[in-house]
Chains A and B, each alone.
Chain A
Amino acid sequence: MSAHWSEGIYQLFKQQSIRQVSLVPDAGHSRLIKLCEADAALRMVRLTTEEEGIALAVGAWLGGDKSVLLMQSSGVGNCINMLSMLQVCQIPLAMLVTMRGDWGEFNPWQVPMGRAAKTVLEEMDVLVTSAQHEDEVVPAAEGALRIAYNTYRPAAVLIGQRVLGAKTFTD
């Protein structure tokens, strides 16, 4: 069994010299969050809403720091207006989005934003890659980090529930 994708993503953060990691917690990111928390070189910023993470990334970039934003698909909707700043100012950001509302979802309230997440991001000029298999997650994240920070634009990876395991009502 190969290492969990969270380990691979954490290594990418180190290779790409990520300095600030902002997040609204999601169960799908819990392992990655623990890895980042254990690393004093990464500054974790806990947000009250995902749009703060977009604004934070603007400030971080102005100050010379690379950042990533971790969130659940429901948070994509919270970011829409703030994403305009990345477009207008050509600011890079990698966003790692754990999906709800796709494969095997049990909660009907998660489905609308889960279905809309990709379209919403693309409408706001974010490059989107989806990972539907565990082996795809780290390469997708690597691609997103590279294109974001080499071409000065936002890029997102949607990590599907087929990778994360669909949450069940009894979880």
Chain B
Amino acid sequence: MASNSGQRLDRREVAKVLLRDRGDLLVVAGLGAPAWDATHVGDHPLNFPLWGGMGGATAIGLGLAIAQPMRPVLVLTGDGEMLMGMGSLATVGIDQPANLSIVVLDNEHYGETGMQESHTARGVDLAAAALACGLKSGVMVTQMEQVIALRKAMHAMQGTVFAK
């Protein structure tokens, strides 16, 4: 979600826009700030915010997406959490449930532990990793208009969506 140049999107705003008019959207929010971001929009019975199991958010989303194919599933997580579960991108890559979206709020830092730099601050590109794992979408989002489009793609359920 962040780029080294230009203005960064506000993560709370991004969460708010993504969860607008959510209908029966199921949300898995990864350990760290994304769990707070999703909860900040408003507590919701269809949210599953994580306080542990780092690296597991995407695999939880996959199990949920398979079990509930008629509902959109959003994994909202951070770069550190996604880096720990990078293998799960390959697992999603061979499964590709149409109703699963993975959105990484990539601030290039481990926010919960003192803002140490993560690998994405040093050139690791999670969207490229998603594409390399066979996901059909792997985009970098830097503008709020793109977040709105992302929200639409998420609800359209026409293929696994990955964005950072």
Q: Do A and B bind each other?
A: yes
Chain A interfacial positions (CB closer than 8 Å to B): 19-20, 43, 45-49, 51-65, 67, 81-82, 84-85, 88
A54 to B85, CA, bound (A): 12
Q: Tell me which residues across on chain B come within 8 A of A53, comparing CB atoms.
A: 59
Nearest neighbor of B46 in chain A, beta-carbon distance: A62
| Cβ A82 vs Cβ B91 within 8 A | no
Residue of B nearest to A60 (CB): B63
Tell me if B107 is interfacial: C-beta within 8 Å of chain A.
no
Total residues of chain B contacting the partner, CB 8 A: 28
Partner of B59, one of A56, A63, A84, A88: A56
Please state if A63 and B85 are interface contacts (CB–CB under 8 Å): no
The answer to the question of B87 belonging to the interface, with a C-beta cut-off of 8 Å to chain A, is yes
With A52-B56, A63-B63 as known contacts, state yes or no: A45 contacts B68, CB within 8 Å. Answer: no
The answer on a CB contact under 8 Å between B56 and A55 is yes
Residue interface mask B74-100, A partner, CB < 8 A = 1: 000000000001011011001100000
CA distance A58 to B48 in the complex (A): 10
A20 & B66 in contact (Cβ 8 Å cutoff): yes
Q: A19 near B67 (CB under 8 angstroms)?
A: yes
Q: What mask results when residues 32 to 68 of chain B are scored 1 for a CB within 8 Å of chain A, else 0?
A: 0000000000000000101011111111111111111
Measured CA separation A51–B1 after assembly (Å)? 27
User: Are the CB atoms of A45 and B64 closer together than 8 Å?
Assistant: no
Q: List B contacts of A84 (CB < 8 A).
A: 52-53
A110 and B84 alpha carbons, distance in the complex (Å): 25
Given that A45-B91, A48-B87 are contacting pairs, would A82 and B67 also be in contact in the complex, using a CB cutoff of 8 Å?
no
Q: Tell whether, in the assembled complex, residue A56 and residue B63 are in contact, meaning their CB atoms are under 8 Å apart.
A: yes
Tell me if B104 is interfacial: C-beta within 8 Å of chain A.
Answer: no
- Give chain A nearest CB distance to B28 CB in angstroms: 7
Min Cβ gap A148→B in Å is: 16
> How far does the alpha carbon of A46 sit from the alpha carbon of B53 in the complex, in Å?
19
Interface residue from A19, A20, A64, A85 paired with B56 (Cβ < 8 Å): A85
Q: Mark B84-124, 1 if CB is under 8 A from A, else 0.
A: 01011011001100000000000000000000000000000
- Whether A59 contacts B91 by the Cβ 8 Å rule is no
Nearest CB of chain A from residue B139's CB, rounded to whole Å: 23
Instruction: List chain A residues, Cβ under 8 A from B53.
Output: 54-55, 58, 81-82, 84-85
Q: Assuming the A-B contacts A45-B91, A48-B87, are A58 and B56 also in contact, with contact meaning beta carbons closer than 8 angstroms in the complex?
A: yes
Q: CA separation between A45 and B62, bound complex, in Å?
A: 9
Closest beta carbon of chain A to B13's beta carbon, Å: 27
Closest residue of chain A to B97 (Cβ to Cβ) is A43
CB neighbours (8 Å) of A63 from chain B are 26, 63-68
Of B57, B66, B88, the residue contacting A65 (CB under 8 A) is B66
Q: Which residue of A lies closest to B60 (CB)?
A: A59
| Other-chain residue from B28, B56, B68 in contact with A51 (beta carbon distance below 8 A) | B56
Known: A55-B53, A58-B56, A59-B28. A65 touches B63 (CB 8 A): yes
- New A-B pairs, 7, CB < 8 Å, besides A48-B91, A54-B59: A45-B66, A55-B85, A56-B62, A59-B64, A60-B66, A62-B60, A81-B52
